[in-house]
A = this chain, B = another copy of it.
């Protein structure tokens, strides 16, 4: 059926080993035969069977990618970055979506791990200890989560939060609400921490509002609590939550930004599409995906490095229409 290495060998009048060498270790074969083999391979349209190769080398040429929810536009962006970089390096990508089901994560990782050389875990929700046991078995790179001695890609959260709060204080806001995302999300914990720190420094009153799902509905659900808190500005854990807030505010006749300013995180495409457009802190989404793959490839190349690589990418506040001067 498919063209195998033997077909090429026969066509070129050499042995199978020579074909392998001609294609993967060119310096070991005579230039003349090398060209002959290559021509034969090209005309027959030969591509090595990756499964067979993987069987012997222990390398599959695949990487796995796990995300919590493709329905949140943040993640497709990361996926795109992972894809792009992986394809450049001639790796294929297995994708799995956990549907925000924390319990399913470990199982999916284990399942994927047999078929891939390593896994990019994006925003995993599982607890640290569980994560640690997984990492012991499989090469893993974390995106949007940090934990000691595991390679990770994150955004500069303290700085991101500083940009956000500075912007709001510059507009005169002194009492700010934060609508928290999932407790299990590392990014949420980091944002809370950075926010408390910055709020303290800048002496702004901080009102923290419950944990909600990182979705539009979560924002809608929290909106009335925000209004009851009598703040002049609100920061959502992510853009979807911020959009939910925006939507409910409008429904209740609360004007944005005249009555209250709204600020999100992520800068999903949608943030620029709504009216008023959403001020938000842009996270490096595609870039994070690319960096994740970079780190993974590096990890695969030198598995027994002691210090885990860590990459922290810069963020950028995007000022749009949903924030304005405080109306105390």
Bound CA span A71–B76, Å: 6
User: Are A114 and B2 in contact, CB atoms less than 8 angstroms apart?
Assistant: yes
Task: For A114, list chain B residues within 8 Å (CB).
Answer: 2, 47, 49-50
Contact call A52/B55, Cβ cutoff below 8 A: yes
A55-B55, A76-B71, A94-B94 known; A243 and B273 CB under 8 Å? yes
| Copies of the chain in the assembly | 2
A2, A55, A60, A95: residue with the most chain B Cβ atoms closer than 10 Å:
A95
Q: Say whether A77 contacts B71, CB under 8 Å.
A: yes
| A66: min CB distance to chain B, Å | 11
Assembled-state Cα–Cα distance A76/B216 (Å) = 17
Chain B residue numbers with a CB within 8 Å of A52 are: 51, 55
Query: A188-236: which residues lie under 8 A (CB-CB) from chain B?
Result: 216
Smallest Cβ-Cβ distance to A251: which chain B residue? B275
Q: For A115, what are the chain B residues with a Cβ–Cβ distance below 8 Å?
A: 50-51, 62, 92
A173, chain B: closest CB distance, angstroms: 23
Smallest beta-carbon distance A57→chain B, Å:
10
- Please report A residues at the B interface, Cβ cutoff 8 Å: 1-2, 47, 49-52, 54-55, 58, 60, 62, 70-71, 73, 75-77, 79-80, 83, 87, 92-97, 99, 111-112, 114-115, 216, 243-244, 246-247, 250, 269-270, 272-275
